[in-house]
Amino acid sequence: MDISMMKQRIILVIFAISLGVNILGMLADPGLLIIPALLLGWFMADLSSGLVHMYMDYRPCPAGRRLDEIFDYPGSRESSEYQQLFRERMAALNPFERLVYDFKNHHPRPDALGRRPVWRLIGSTVIVAALPLSLTLNGLMLALPMPGWVLAYFSAFLLGGAFAQYFHGSLHRRDNPPIVTLLRRAGLLMTPAAHQLHHDTLKQDFATNCGWSNPIINHLFQWLRQRGHLDDAGLVPPA
């Protein structure tokens, strides 16, 4: 999303404050239910991001836009010729189509995701989904007595959902902040080895947060394929 650095910061600060308010609300009404609610929210974020990933991988890019020329570009992607071509082809797509292209582009060039700045990874998810949901929750807290476990569920869901592409990027990067290593050790984030199973076949393990939902998504994938959906042709941009 093309917005200035200043606006990016402001949006992220508002999101952090809004999420902080929800977490404070959770802490104000502690109880044993908070633990399973946090885990369920974390699981649901994994499931949601995995379903989005599966859909975006197989949703065809629009035909007739010569996207194959940038997808299969034989020369250096640092070259000004490629950069120019890339800008031209992307300009003909709407933001959603660009995102769809991005998911396919990730498969042959996975490490590029690990090099992206945080805003590139989470900005659109925060603007379109996480921030509006978090602010709605803040509003509900003012209007209704919200149990701590409800706020726990949504806080974990919002955090996992907003950072889903960041966590995916961390699987394609060697240097990560200690929190990522810690969450991996605790089993709350998946390992690069586990995610490699997705890249090996593109037919399984679409969830990239903790991966707890992958058995369910894999079943759904098989079920949809048996019914003729999610055709392999969707994995690669057409001419």
**Site for Zn ion contains 205 (CB under 5 A):** no
User: Reduced to 3 DSSP states, what percent helix, strand and coil does the chain have, rounded to the nearest 5?
Assistant: 70, 0, 30
Task: Draw the binding track, 3-42, toward Zn ion (x: CB under 5 A; -: no contact).
Answer: ----------------------------------------
| Shortest Cβ 8–Zn ion spacing (Å) | 24
Q: And the tokens for 106? A: 């990730």
- Give 110 or 237: the residue with its C-beta nearer to Zn ion: 110
Whole-number minimum distance, CB 39 to Zn ion, in Å?
A: 24
How many residues interact with Zn ion (rule CB under 5 A)? Answer: 2
Please list every residue from 95 through 124 that binds Zn ion, using CB under 5 A: 110
Stretch that binds Zn ion, among 49-57, 74-82, 88-96, 226-234 (CB under 5 A): 49-57
* Rounded Cα–Cα distance for residues 231 and 59 (Å): 9
Tokens for 196, please give them. Answer: 């490699």
Choices 50-58, 126-134, 135-143, 144-152; region in contact with Zn ion by CB under 5 A: 50-58
Quick one: tokens of 157?
């869901």
Alpha-carbon distance values, 172 to 49, 50, 184 (Å): 17, 17, 14
CA distance 223 to 218: 9
Element (H, E) at 24: helix 5-28
Shortest distance in whole angstroms from residue 85 CB to Zn ion? 24
**Would you count residue 57 as binding Zn ion (CB under 5 A)?**
yes
Angle formed by the axes of helices 148-162 and 34-58, to 10°? Answer: 30
Please say which residue, 46 or 57, places its beta carbon nearer to Zn ion: 57
Helix (H, G, I), strand (E, B) or coil at 230: coil
> Based on CB atoms, which residue is closest to Zn ion, 8 or 49?
49
What is the binding site for Zn ion (CB under 5 A)?
Answer: 57, 110
